Structure 1
Amino acid sequence: MILTFSAGWGLATAIAAALAYAVLALAARRLSEASTRALLFLAWLLHALALADGLLGEPPRFGFAPALSMTVWLVLSVYAVESRLFPQLKARWALAGLGTAAVLLALVFPGSSYHLIASPWLPLHWALGIASYGLFAAAVVHGGLMNRSERSIRSATQADTGVPLLTLERLTFRFVQAGFVLLTATLAVGWLFAETLYGPGLAGQWNHKTVFSVLAWLTFAGLLTGRARLGWRGRKAVRLLYLGSGLLLLGYAGSRFVLEVVLKRV
């Protein structure tokens, strides 16, 4: 499966990205601030090149592992921007470990080849879906930091997230709101252009991907409504965020995992 990368370029960049992430994950607390930033940027850039090789190669390939890898790359992109605004944000080693796992997973399972894009709407549908994945994943990371900070406050210990609890909460739900908008657009494009995207007779078809995606949309809609109308926050809100994100993960990545790994339909 690894040999599907074009001319060794994708293989080389993927291995280099995984190594850079691994070094950062293992040595983040011993490196200087400048060295950490430089290594994170290098890993991020190599990761992007590996993703580009899979998406733009001959033939282009995509599947559950590249989708997860791109999601992690988007989360790291968000973190890179946020760390400029909140230098005290402490999540580099964990995200670097996640980056290592995501790159290696995409290396082993590069996905299905697409010799011909069936519709010009399909890249837009993919882009909206992956962007929503990335935003909800960023929300999950911030929700985890928020839970950790809240536990520290309850136990009267020193919080190690580096960002005030209210700031983390605000950031978490901004990502949820943005992700919800993109998920809505993804479902709308998929519903309105189903026949163009996937072929005649598929409009309105309810498969596993559609069911889980709609359930995720309903969960996020309930979360945002509950927060606006009933003031939901803290652990209850984060649990719903985790539930919705889990359903969304099952929607595409879960379905493709079953097809590619369990049923071997690549």
Structure 2
Amino acid sequence: MLSPAFAAASTSPIGWALAIAAAIAYAIPALAARRLQETSARWGLRAAWALHLAAIAWSLIGDTPHFGFAPALSVTAWLVLTVYVVEQQLYPQLRSRWPLSAMGCMAVLLAGVFPGSPLHVNASPWLPLHLALGIASYGLFAAAVVHAALMTRAERQMRQDGSHDSGLPLLALERLTFRFVTAGFILLSATLLAGWWFGEALYGKAWVWNHKSVFSLMAWLTFAILLVGRKRFGWRGQRAVNMLYVGATLLLLAYVGSRFVLEVILKH
């Protein structure tokens, strides 16, 4: 799993400039969603996406590279928005710009307030790959949660008036949701396997049973049960969505939750 050092860090002026620019760019399509034309709103979101990427890149390769719970959430939000930008090319009718813009705005500002801890300068060269696997799995499961929420809203609207405004057929939303779950499960499995097998090379110590590893394994088991249940027993609808939410919550507690306690509450 992810394990940067626990030293204090602060966001540089350049980092703050990029974060504020990205937040403003996100706020425009979020607050003026009904006033902007479709093309303008789409390009505004793409500009925010690019500025968000620049803010993330600066935090990782700037004067003092650092990482923590808020940057992890920021990267996760950016990955979800990346999925949305790609999906809009395939499904132009997809509608979820406002909540995703709001999510991106809050995530990039939170990462500015809590930039995390400086990364080890003498860390294993395999550590960036391990970090990338873990955060990519976060992003895929977050995308699955977003699609599951759209699916739940669409089902509720269909029961009420026979139509929905998500922009995608219900079955397409369901297929996309579980494709993201499957991909996220594969990356999460690779992340856990790397942490167990290469733990000493990555962090200087073997696998440790702590809150992070326990919550990660509980999340992995929940997603495994969900995928087996869907494949073997045809689990669908709210039952499957609820299991997805439980697994995503456990995964969130594994790294983001533990680092939040260390950085904000215990101030380590």
TM-score (norm 1): 0.96
| 1:63 alignment counterpart | 68
Q: Show CA shifts across 1:179-209 (max 9, x none).
A: 000000000110001111111xx31310111
Does residue 212 in structure 1 map to residue 215 in structure 2? Answer: yes
- What is the CA distance between 1:11 and its match in structure 2? 1.1
- Which of 138, 162, 171 is matched with 1:166 structurally? 171
Does residue 233 in structure 1 map to residue 236 in structure 2? Answer: yes
- Which of 36, 59, 64 is matched with 1:31 structurally? 36
Q: Show CA shifts across 1:78-106 (max 9, x none).
A: 00000111111110001000011101100
Does the 8 A contact of 2:11 with 2:113 survive in 1?
no
Does residue 143 in structure 1 map to residue 148 in structure 2? Answer: yes
Q: Which runs of 5+ in 2 are unaligned?
A: 1-8
| 2:203 alignment counterpart | 198
Amino acid at match of 2:143: A
Matches within 5 A, 1:12-161: 12-161=17-166
- What is the CA distance between 1:158 and its match in structure 2? 2.7
- Which of 232, 240, 261 is matched with 1:258 structurally? 261
Q: Show CA shifts across 1:56-96 (max 9, x none).
A: 11220000000000000000000000011111111000100
Q: Which moved more, 1:108-117 or 1:12-21?
A: 108-117
- What is the CA distance between 1:115 and its match in structure 2? 4.5
Distance 1:204 1:108 in 2: 31
Distance 1:28 1:155 in 2: 25
Distance 2:175 2:120 in 1: 43
Does the 8 A contact of 1:132 with 1:180 survive in 2?
yes
Q: Which runs of 5+ in 1 are unaligned?
A: none
Does the 8 A contact of 2:195 with 2:207 survive in 1?
no
Distance 2:42 2:154 in 1: 24
Distance 2:167 2:221 in 1: 33
Q: Show CA shifts across 1:202-254 (max 9, x none).
A: 31310111000000000000000000000001100000000000000000000
Q: Show CA shifts across 1:39-65 (max 9, x none).
A: 011100100000011011122000000
Q: Which moved more, 1:113-122 or 1:202-211?
A: 113-122
Does the 8 A contact of 1:147 with 1:235 survive in 2?
yes
Does the 8 A contact of 2:59 with 2:66 survive in 1?
yes
Higher relative contact order (CA 8 A, sep 6+): 2
Does residue 222 in structure 1 map to residue 225 in structure 2? Answer: yes
Amino acid at match of 2:258: S
Does the 8 A contact of 1:210 with 1:251 survive in 2?
yes
Q: Show CA shifts across 1:12-52 (max 9, x none).
A: 11000001111111111211111011101110010000001
Does the 8 A contact of 1:59 with 1:115 survive in 2?
no
Q: Show CA shifts across 1:158-187 (max 9, x none).
A: 311111100000000000000000000000
| 1:4 alignment counterpart | 10
Equivalent residue pairs, number: 261
